[in-house]
Amino acid sequence: MIQKKTKENGLINLGDIVEQKEILDTNDKTFEKLMFIYSIAIKELKNKIEIIKDEFKILYNYELIDHIDSRIKEPQSILNKMENRNLKLTYHNMIENINDIAGIRIICPLKKDIFTIKELIQNINGIHILKEKDYVTYPKKSGYSSYHLILEIPVILSKSKMHVKLELQIRTIAMDFWANLEHKIKYKPENEINEKESKEWIKCAKLVRKLDNKIMLLN
């Protein structure tokens, strides 16, 4: 790993600490170090989200966030994604093009909470939104619904400061239930479903959206 000149704000991009042509090897020390940095990015953001969660619960007596999940993408999944996108297997390509290596998912009770959380996240000092996709207002054809953000998180270590990309998903309890079930059934090769079953899943997704809207009105 190499260290390049810092920018004006004192932070470098994570991609600047590796050689552009250095070949990706998921078993070597460089990969281990990079995954450690991604794990720190998760801890940094998760800590800030926990503070928001506790703030609303204690100060405002409102359960804005039900729970928080996080994960680091499996090495083989990273390689598969790069190969599917015809990317040369280098560390630089991995860092620059695979934005969901580190991931956090926020689960909240109501659909309106999604947009409240999104605004609170974007107002956190030092965090930048690079991309966002609103699958809540505009669900996928499959019925999938969630709010996706690609964020740039400042990670401060003892001898370096850097920006690290992280994917954040925000969804309701109902959306999360449907998404997890659909993923297990629809996206496993041994459980391929036909067109009729696929249409039934879309109907289920619509019912989930109606449930979310009904609960929000009742609340």
pLDDT (0 to 100) of residue 16: 85
pLDDT (0 to 100) of residue 4: 52
Question: pLDDT tens digits for 155-186?
Answer: 999 988 999 999 999 999 988 887 777 766 66
pLDDT (0 to 100) of residue 191: 53
Mean pLDDT confidence for 8-27: 85
**Biggest alpha carbon–alpha carbon distance for the chain:** 57
- If you count them, how many residues does the chain have? 219
The phi and psi torsions of 119 (rounded to 5 degrees) equal -65, -40
Q: Which domains does the chain have, with CATH numbers?
A: 12-174 (3.30.460.10)
pTM: 0.85
pLDDT (0 to 100) of residue 179: 79
pLDDT (0 to 100) of residue 204: 74
Q: Does the structure show a pLDDT above 80 at 205?
A: no
pLDDT (0 to 100) of residue 185: 64
Mean pLDDT confidence for 132-142: 91
Burial of residue 115 (number of CB atoms within 10 Å: 0-12, 13-18, 19+): middle
| Beta pairing, strands 161-172 & 147-156 | antiparallel
| Cβ neighbours for 202, distance < 8 A, ≥ 6 positions apart | 141, 142, 143
pLDDT (0 to 100) of residue 187: 57
pLDDT (0 to 100) of residue 174: 87
- What stretches of the chain show up as alpha helix (H) in DSSP? 29-59, 75-84, 91-97, 111-122, 173-186, 195-218
Q: Structure tokens of 148?
A: 């996706």
Mean pLDDT confidence for 142-148: 88
| Cβ neighbours for 133, distance < 8 A, ≥ 6 positions apart | 147, 148
Q: What is the mean pLDDT of the chain?
A: 88
Question: pLDDT tens digits for 90-115?
Answer: 999 999 999 999 999 999 999 999 99
Q: How far apart are the first and last CA of the chain?
A: 52
The phi and psi torsions of 101 (rounded to 5 degrees) equal -60, -45
Q: Does the structure show a pLDDT above 80 at 47?
A: yes
Rounded to whole angstroms, what are the CA distances from 37 to 15, 124, 169, 204?
12, 20, 20, 39
Q: Out of 30-39, 42-51, 61-70, 205-214, pick the least confident.
A: 205-214
